[in-house]
Amino acid sequence: MTYPQPYEGVKGTDRSEDYLLSLDPKALSVRAVIMALAKHLGDATLVGNPAPRVARMRERMTAPQIGDLVVEESKALHSRDEIVKAQGFGILLAVRDEWCVRDEDWEKEKTEYDLRDEDRAHDRGWYVQYGCDPGDVCRWTDCSFMVVPTFEDFTLSVGTRSETGVTLTRDDLLSSLGDAGFDLVKRS
């Protein structure tokens, strides 16, 4: 079986207008705050018997998709190294299975350690654009990412909207309360 080379075909984009990915020292402190808040939000969703909206939030935060703002939570989130911390926050570009090392490095290892092609290992590579420059791309392996939810409202839409406002029915209110985790008891 063949896999792509590390970094092969993965490219960042010019994000010079995106202050969120700035590597300026002042921006890095803002990024650290966002990372900490994302961790606390993720921790807050780790509850037994979560409300439906909390379960939806947890599900989405643990299922990063290409284009999401993400935080690497196994290393970068806890690192004191500013470079590691910076490289663990950004836009997810790709997630794929690929060779652990490039072909040229594999050929050296194969000769040096008397290995066969079937001994060659592959990994799951996660690529994050962490800065504004297209070259600011970090490859992560043996890692765990969570989404920084900046895009969705996890509540259910309630009521019927019209030009004059919103009409709520009893069922709308009950659905909304149930979605928020309230136990609803039907009385006869």
- Tens of pLDDT along 36-62? 999 999 999 999 989 888 999 999 999
Q: Identify the band that residue 72 occupies on the pLDDT scale cut at 50, 70 and 90.
A: very high
Q: What is the pLDDT of residue 28?
A: 94
What would the two tokens of residue 2 be? Answer: 């063949």
Range of the domain at 180: 155-188
pLDDT at 109: 94
Q: How many CB atoms neighbour CB 37 within 10 A?
A: 12
Q: Looking at the structure, do residues 103 and 38 belong to the same domain, yes or no? A: yes
Q: Is there a domain that residue 4 lies in?
A: no
Both 172 and 104 in one domain: the answer is no
pLDDT of residue 144: 96
Question: Residue 93: its pLDDT value, please?
Answer: 98
34 and 75 together in one domain: yes
- Eight-state DSSP code of residue 65: -
- Reported as a single tens digit per residue, the pLDDT across 94-108 is 999 999 999 999 999
- Please state the pTM of the whole predicted model: 0.83
Structural domain contains residue 11: no
Do 54 and 79 fall into the same domain? Answer: yes
Residue 49 lies in a domain: yes
Q: Among 40-44, 51-55, 69-73, 170-174, which is the least confidently predicted range?
A: 170-174
Residues 159 and 145 in one domain: no
Sequence-ordered list of residues with C-beta below 8 angstroms from that of 57, at least 6 positions apart, any chain: 41, 45, 149, 154
Asked if 104 and 119 sit in the same domain, the reply is yes
Q: How many domains does the chain have?
A: 2
State yes or no: pLDDT of 177 exceeds 70: yes
Judge whether 12 lies within some domain: no
- How buried is residue 26: exposed, middle or buried, by Cβ count under 10 Å (0-12/13-18/19+)? exposed
2 belongs to a structural domain: no
| pLDDT value of position 154 | 62
Higher pLDDT, 76 or 185: 76
Q: Are residues 51 and 130 part of one domain?
A: yes
Read off the pLDDT band of 157 (50, 70, 90).
Answer: low
Q: What is residue 170's predicted lDDT score, i.e. its pLDDT?
A: 72
With respect to residue 14, please indicate whether it lies within any of the assigned structural domains. no
Least confident of 71-80, 114-123, 159-168: 159-168
